[in-house]
Structure 1
Amino acid sequence: MPPRPPLSLSLALPPFTLHRHWPALGLSAALGCVPLAHGQDALELQAVQVSGAELDELDAARAALRSVPGGSNLVDLKEAGAGRLANNEDLFKYQAGVYAKAANNEGAKISIRGSGINRGPGAHASGLYEMFDGLPVTGPGGTPYELMEPLWLSRVEVLRGANGFERGALALGGAVNYVTRTGYDAAKLQLRYETGSHGYRKRQISSGQVLGDLDYYLSLTDSGYDGYQAHSAGSSQGVAANVGYRLNPDLETRFYVRYRETENDTPGKLTRQQIEHDPRAANALNLTRHSERPQPGSTWIANKTTLQIDDDSRVEAGLVYHDYPMDLREGANRLKVAYTDISGTLNYLRRDTLWGHESKTTLGLRTTQALPNTGVSEFVRLSTAAYPLGTRTRNYSYLGSDSVLHASHELELLPDLWLTTGLAAIYTRRETEVTYPQTHDRLSLHTWDYAPRLGLRYAYSADLEVFANLSRSVEPPHPWASLWGANKFFPASSGPASGLHSGGVKLDNQSATTLELGGRGDAWFGHWDLAWYYAQVRNELLSVETQAAVGNLSAIIAEANASPTVHQGLELSLDSPLWEGGRAGRVALRQAYTYSDFHYEDDERFGDNALAGIPKRYYQAQVRYSHPSGLYTGFNAERVSKIAVDYANSFYAAPYTLFGATLGYDAPGGAWQTWLDLRNLANKRYASTVTPGYDDHGKDAARSTPGDGFGVYAGVSWSLN
């Protein structure tokens, strides 16, 4: 079982004093929300001295997540880094409720409780609100993936579904907070190198230190791969840094910078038959077009400042600049996309005694505004007799803003029984306009919405906690979805713009009302975490490929609000000690199971059909032997059920089972580590991701991306502490 934070310290102290010792806690700022077990005496604050050695940030974050009346995950990068860390699929292994699958490049399809179910990998993580160090990454245009470098992180905090309310997130899938290392948890110097099959290689050099009231962290990474499929090579290089400074015992600030470039060839999707017989082939059309997706350089610059007003209250303020251009060379036309937005956050946290009961209040405001240069310039990429290479076809803009004012309150009604209430007001703006060859049908949508939340959490004992919540989530459409889902096109007399979208279509906000029940605890069989949820979704935003790419014509992707849908599921994780041998080592079993039943509710066309895109059943397990000397070895398995590839449920990607193994050594003291990671031992041919269609009438359409075959990966890391 994973170690539990010491109750005598981590559960008794208010979070505000702890914050003075750890300047960048992220979700761990809510540490004091976890009550003492019934009958345990509270410690006097003046009599306790806390140091980083006694309580680290990971324990604080774990305790904070346990205070949420709903499902959550904590990814420890020390554990995740004991093998290949190429992308988000590697990062989110063995995390119940999180479906993450990569497709040849770094872009992974991530779905939580049905978020982004209908999209392909790298599609801006639709349905999730993502953050770096508690500050916004997701904007009106979505969430780009190129800044998600796992080697820069110390941990990842996930609040699944409506539980994202705790961070001001209101998307269907919830909140994901990627927490960067700082000088407080980084080595003075660290070198890491990974290499393996299909031309994979990755390097990192990093440094972090505490120098009095100042600390810093700096990391440089680069990577490259030839890819499993033909025409799937890629590369990346980037840097992450942050500097924190404690101006006085009550005021501290931290500056963050991330910059990264990526370049990926795109091999395209295959049919089920192709995956079974020739999975390394690329889609013929993608080869003809030499499709690729350069990300010329994304920049994220931020500041977070915390003022400790007194022992019971503090204020946190954040400011973010985010620029993420793209150069899409996948279709007949080349799209040069400019996305830039600026975000601000302000949070006030207070602890009181209300009618003799402990009370905690959070007031928060976050807003993200797309800047005017956000838009697309489109040019002819495959020249014809009529239009040579580089001919401009269209210009169009994607503008918007998201603003959320949220308030939440926690009250200990009885010893160990906590009531959570919350309410958020949401204002969204979406604007789309085609400005060339001439201005057409400017679309401007302004919407107010709301999201209430009610939760209960009861700590029956130190080893058993149960929870329930009823919450509403709201998700606005992407501005680009309004254009690409429209049925408005330029007439044949419009030159190179003929047949292309000329205006946008109105899309409503997606909303969901979710009931969740669950619990967590420790028992003879191990540490367990269980959540069941049922969500009534209205106006679900579904995007499907309604016309495949043919010749020089690109595929047509339509976005629309669906008829009523239901998302329900079960999320279970279990960490079990199988054998404790003392000096001979230990054997542990780690399991994660996710059941996802997402379907229409008496749709006029599709009845109660399943929503296509992800499996109904997803299971992962790992048996691991660890020796006190630092040697470890493990065997892992993954089982995925069949996946519908269209909304008519006329065809399915095949179910599959994968096996893998690891062997490694972690030197005592953590000075160096090395590992061997074997993937897909049986060389199984399978579909890693599915991008759904509308109705394939039982035909085997090219909608799937093959997963990697058998692979051997090795790595080594050295640290100077």
Structure 2
Amino acid sequence: MPAFKTLPTALLGLTLACPALAESQRLELGQVLIGAEDRSGEDASVEEAQARLEQVPGGTNVVDMRRPLQGRVASNQDVLAYQPGVYAQSAGNEGTKISIRGSGINRAPGAHASGLYTMLDGLPLTGPGGTPYELLEPLWLDHVEVLRGANGFDRGALALGGAVDYVSHTGYNAPLLNVRYVMGSHGYAQRQVSSGQVLGDFDYYLSMTDAHSDSYQDHTTSKSQGVIANFGYRFNPNLETRFYIRHRETDNDLAGRVTKHSIEHDPRAANPAYVTRNDSRDQPGSTFIGNKTTYYIDDDSSIQTGLVYHDYPMDLREGPNRLKVAYTDVSGTFDYKRRDTLWGMESNSTVGLRVTKHLPNDGASELVRIPGGNTARYAPGTHMRNFTYQGSDSVLHVGNDLEIADNLWLTSGLAAIYTRRESAVTYPVGGGKTSLGDWDYAPRLGLRYQVTPDLQLFGNLSRSVEAPHPWSLIYSSNVRFPTGSGAATGTQRDPVKLQNQTATTLELGGRGDSALGEWSLAWYYAQVRHELLSVLPDANATTPYELNASPTVHQGIEASLNSNLWSAKDGGKLSLRQAYTFSDFHYRDDDRFGDNRLPGLPMHYYQGELRYDFPQGFFAAVNTQLVSKTAVDYANSYYADPYATFGATLGYNAPKGDWQTWLDMRNLTDKHYAATVTPGYDDKGLDAARSTPGEGMAMYVGVSWSLL
């Protein structure tokens, strides 16, 4: 039995308010909630989010965007840097490969790769088809909440990697006016204008951004423009609502994957086939419209409802054909929270429902782009085939936190899950159809013990369930139209059937504050069944197959330490922040690959930054990133090399918080390395085109000004 049970051969740019103003406004928000249940976090401050996530008996992260914005923030790689347990590397433009605990380990960067449940302001962004990255504009964010692995249970997360919530600014934490401009190497330019304000019971946040980059690698030019707005209104202390609108357009040229030899000797070179075809990924306009309404029933209970409409058409020109896609999702959420006293002990209960469904659309049409291969006799633009992919995810989850002894909390929960996936080839005649519907469940049990105010220990045993993407049913098929089928000859005809991926995970760890600094440490061990793994069937393939694997193991260690090394009498401070992730992902006695390591991610991943803040507002920092070798294929016959990069940042924060400037210098040694790997099956020790190069030496300068 092969490893795949069926193998057919992605200046604190002050988008934040003045600290004093923001603090006063957030205090007003807190006063509204006195005597009521804490809100879920989407409109809360960073500090409130940190306090709330510390009540989760497992690994979590809160990214305060005030820190990343003291440098270039172009993609999720910049947002999620220095976060233990989170691997985020850019593929040359906005497409970033993000993996937590091996989630989506082998999926190609960007596109609709997921393995994570992604939210915008607590509302679903991830749908049955995955997670498009176009709406993830970093400059719009106040903070990011990461609940690693099954710790995303209370957010309705299904995926192995857990939940990531990108929380926007509101009128309560944004300046009246902010202007930010960044420019730098490789033709990079980024601009933002934003405004936020509280007007009585009404508040708003509005931001417009655009960016352009020629990028480091040839043929990876990118451009984007977008707008966000959210409007909140408090009808009374017990009822409030907020509307969210996002629209963003992107156009990214694609360079394809290259060999290790190419990266070593000519890292800026693109895959020649991609240059010839002029491949690109055009998102003509992705639109997200949502609402969230909260009703505080009394001091101890609340109900929150959410509704989202998400439309994201794409024009994909990767490979010899042109694929036009029309996705439309609608999502609904319901959360009931209650605080009680049971047998003299505090009890916090939650009941939540999340439903996300693809709406019927025009499906996908595939056209011949250029003559070549088996399509040589067809003119560009010839209609090849039409196909559809539909799906829905429904999750009903019930959870409880019960204080069973002083400072000892028992967390329990159970989720009922229904997933539906469907794919059909509607043109030409003779295409097949696959429809899958599965019920599953996910229990959760955890303990959290606050040993002292500065030391917490935790542990949990949980289960996760992740369904395949609907589009993988058709693209993973090896049943193709036979000769004589016109332009459709050789394309996939009958979608395959795939099983849901499940995992049972044990996690132990702790967090706290000590003489060494603020720290966190988590160890996890997951047994995964039917893992959804991707593979490029050959070096010329553009779309990986995604198929169920034989049993696998995901285990690792996630650690962070933020230390204040020295404080001067004049107010200066020397600090060090560090994040380390150890990842051991491998097969369990596979018939073909034994206990081979799963390719696509490094085993060791370290990031560190040493920084000195001067009392006058100046700061200087040096940083490094150390990454071990990465297996390139499932046979482990070839590896991408380990690497180390070094950078530095210089900047100035005005004491009043109204303006800032900085210089961000990256990869100062101009190291040539592979940032991401999209694996093959068995390359037999050959150097196949599987990798994307990391950015070479670059410098960026930015300035931001705010009217407070």
Normalising by structure 1, what TM-score? 0.92
> Is 1:621 paired with 2:608?
yes
Distance across 2 between alignment mates of 1:22 and 1:92: 32
Residue of structure 2 in register with 1:336 after alignment: 324
After TM superposition, give the deviation of residue 669 of structure 1 in Å. 2.1
8 Å CA contact 1:340–1:374 kept in 2: the answer is: no
1:259-309 Cα deviation digits (max 9, x unpaired) = 000001101111111100000111110011111111111000000000010
8 Å CA contact 1:547–1:557 kept in 2: the answer is: no
1:88-123 Cα deviation digits (max 9, x unpaired) = 001111000000000111010000000111012103
> Is 1:428 paired with 2:419?
yes
Residue of structure 2 in register with 1:298 after alignment: 286
Residue of structure 2 in register with 1:157 after alignment: 145
> Is 1:390 paired with 2:378?
no
8 Å CA contact 1:22–1:57 kept in 2: the answer is: no
After TM superposition, give the deviation of residue 20 of structure 1 in Å. 7.1
Residue of structure 2 in register with 1:9 after alignment: none
Amino acid at match of 1:258: R
Matches within 5 A, 1:682-697: 682-697=669-684
Distance across 2 between alignment mates of 1:158 and 1:628: 32
After TM superposition, give the deviation of residue 658 of structure 1 in Å. 0.3
User: 1:332/1:19 Cα in 2 relative to 1: closer, same or farther (>3 Å)?
Assistant: farther
Distance across 2 between alignment mates of 1:21 and 1:685: 56
Residue of structure 2 in register with 1:316 after alignment: 304
Which one is further off, 219-228 or 369-378?
A: 369-378
Matches within 5 A, 1:358-369: 358-369=346-357
Distance across 2 between alignment mates of 1:660 and 1:24: 40
1:122-163 Cα deviation digits (max 9, x unpaired) = 032421000001000000111000110000000000000010
SS, match of residue 264 in structure 2? helix
8 Å CA contact 1:452–1:472 kept in 2: the answer is: yes
Matches within 5 A, 1:475-624: 475-549=466-540, 554-555=541-542, 557-624=544-611
SS, match of residue 293 in structure 1? strand
Amino acid at match of 1:189: L
8 Å CA contact 1:374–1:399 kept in 2: the answer is: no
Amino acid at match of 1:317: T
Matches within 5 A, 1:37-48: none
SS, match of residue 519 in structure 2? strand
Amino acid at match of 2:47: D
SS, match of residue 105 in structure 1? coil
Distance across 1 between alignment mates of 2:569 and 2:85: 33
8 Å CA contact 2:533–2:546 kept in 1: the answer is: yes
> Is 1:65 paired with 2:53?
yes
Residue of structure 2 in register with 1:134 after alignment: 122
Amino acid at match of 1:461: T
User: 1:89/1:556 Cα in 2 relative to 1: closer, same or farther (>3 Å)?
Assistant: closer
Distance across 1 between alignment mates of 2:88 and 2:39: 25
After TM superposition, give the deviation of residue 19 of structure 1 in Å. 3.9
Matches within 5 A, 1:52-451: 57-373=45-361, 375-383=363-371, 386-451=377-442
Residue of structure 2 in register with 1:49 after alignment: none
8 Å CA contact 1:343–1:367 kept in 2: the answer is: yes
SS, match of residue 687 in structure 2? coil
After TM superposition, give the deviation of residue 502 of structure 1 in Å. 0.4
Amino acid at match of 2:196: G
After TM superposition, give the deviation of residue 59 of structure 1 in Å. 1.0
Residue of structure 2 in register with 1:634 after alignment: 621
8 Å CA contact 1:433–1:439 kept in 2: the answer is: no
Residue of structure 2 in register with 1:681 after alignment: 668
1:465-498 Cα deviation digits (max 9, x unpaired) = 0000000000000001111111210001100000
8 Å CA contact 1:613–1:692 kept in 2: the answer is: yes
8 Å CA contact 1:341–1:370 kept in 2: the answer is: yes
User: 1:667/1:482 Cα in 2 relative to 1: closer, same or farther (>3 Å)?
Assistant: same
Amino acid at match of 1:650: S
After TM superposition, give the deviation of residue 555 of structure 1 in Å. 3.9
Residue of structure 2 in register with 1:33 after alignment: none
1:339-375 Cα deviation digits (max 9, x unpaired) = 1010000000000001110000000001001001062
After TM superposition, give the deviation of residue 629 of structure 1 in Å. 1.6
8 Å CA contact 2:301–2:338 kept in 1: the answer is: yes
Distance across 2 between alignment mates of 1:301 and 1:199: 32
1:581-623 Cα deviation digits (max 9, x unpaired) = 1315010010000000000000000000000001000000000
Amino acid at match of 2:634: Y
User: 1:314/1:106 Cα in 2 relative to 1: closer, same or farther (>3 Å)?
Assistant: same
Distance across 2 between alignment mates of 1:24 and 1:675: 37
SS, match of residue 606 in structure 1? coil
User: 1:28/1:283 Cα in 2 relative to 1: closer, same or farther (>3 Å)?
Assistant: closer
Distance across 2 between alignment mates of 1:269 and 1:647: 17
Distance across 2 between alignment mates of 1:572 and 1:177: 21
For structure 1, list consecutive stretches of 5 or more residues without a partner in the other structure: 1-12, 30-55
Distance across 1 between alignment mates of 2:667 and 2:40: 36
Distance across 2 between alignment mates of 1:714 and 1:698: 42
Amino acid at match of 1:271: T
User: 1:21/1:640 Cα in 2 relative to 1: closer, same or farther (>3 Å)?
Assistant: farther
Residue of structure 2 in register with 1:665 after alignment: 652
Distance across 2 between alignment mates of 1:25 and 1:331: 47
User: 1:630/1:644 Cα in 2 relative to 1: closer, same or farther (>3 Å)?
Assistant: same
8 Å CA contact 1:26–1:179 kept in 2: the answer is: no
8 Å CA contact 2:37–2:296 kept in 1: the answer is: no
SS, match of residue 90 in structure 1? helix
Distance across 1 between alignment mates of 2:158 and 2:426: 32
Distance across 1 between alignment mates of 2:36 and 2:697: 43
Residue of structure 1 in register with 2:13 after alignment: none
After TM superposition, give the deviation of residue 330 of structure 1 in Å. 1.2
Distance across 2 between alignment mates of 1:17 and 1:213: 14
User: 1:19/1:120 Cα in 2 relative to 1: closer, same or farther (>3 Å)?
Assistant: farther
Q: Percent identity, please.
A: 63
Distance across 2 between alignment mates of 1:24 and 1:397: 43
Amino acid at match of 2:635: A
Residue of structure 2 in register with 1:649 after alignment: 636
Residue of structure 2 in register with 1:8 after alignment: none
SS, match of residue 468 in structure 2? coil
Amino acid at match of 2:197: Q
Amino acid at match of 2:414: L
Aligned length: 679
SS, match of residue 681 in structure 2? coil
1:21-62 Cα deviation digits (max 9, x unpaired) = 999954479xxxxxxxxxxxxxxxxxxxxxxxxxx7111100
For structure 2, list consecutive stretches of 5 or more residues without a partner in the other structure: 1-26
8 Å CA contact 1:206–1:217 kept in 2: the answer is: yes
Residue of structure 2 in register with 1:38 after alignment: none
After TM superposition, give the deviation of residue 440 of structure 1 in Å. 2.1
User: 1:19/1:258 Cα in 2 relative to 1: closer, same or farther (>3 Å)?
Assistant: farther
8 Å CA contact 2:42–2:167 kept in 1: the answer is: no
8 Å CA contact 1:418–1:458 kept in 2: the answer is: yes
Distance across 2 between alignment mates of 1:694 and 1:556: 14
After TM superposition, give the deviation of residue 418 of structure 1 in Å. 0.2
> Is 1:473 paired with 2:464?
yes
8 Å CA contact 2:36–2:300 kept in 1: the answer is: no
1:369-402 Cα deviation digits (max 9, x unpaired) = 1001062111111136621111110100010100
Among residues 670, 694, 697, which one is paired with 1:707 in the alignment? 694
8 Å CA contact 2:36–2:301 kept in 1: the answer is: no
